[in-house]
Amino acid sequence: MPVRAYPDPTSRSQDKPENPNVAAARQAIDAKDFQSALGHLTKAVQEAPNDADAHSRLGYSYRKLGSYDKSKESYLKALKIDSRHRGAREYLGELYLDLNQLADAERELQALKKAFHPRSGEKKWGIDTESFPMGASVTRSSPRPA
The tens digit of pLDDT for each residue in 25-45 reads 999 999 999 999 999 999 999
pLDDT for residue 51:
95
Domain 20-111: state its class. mainly alpha
Element (H, E) at 18: none
pLDDT for residue 126:
45
Where do the structural domains in the chain lie, given as residue ranges?
20-111
Residue 36's SS3 state is helix
Between CA 16 and CA 43 the distance in angstroms is 18
pLDDT for residue 71:
97
The tens digit of pLDDT for each residue in 51-73 reads 999 999 999 999 999 999 999 99
Between CA 146 and CA 98 the distance in angstroms is 9
Inter-residue contact 124 to 118 (CB < 8 Å): yes
The tens digit of pLDDT for each residue in 72-91 reads 999 999 999 998 899 999 99
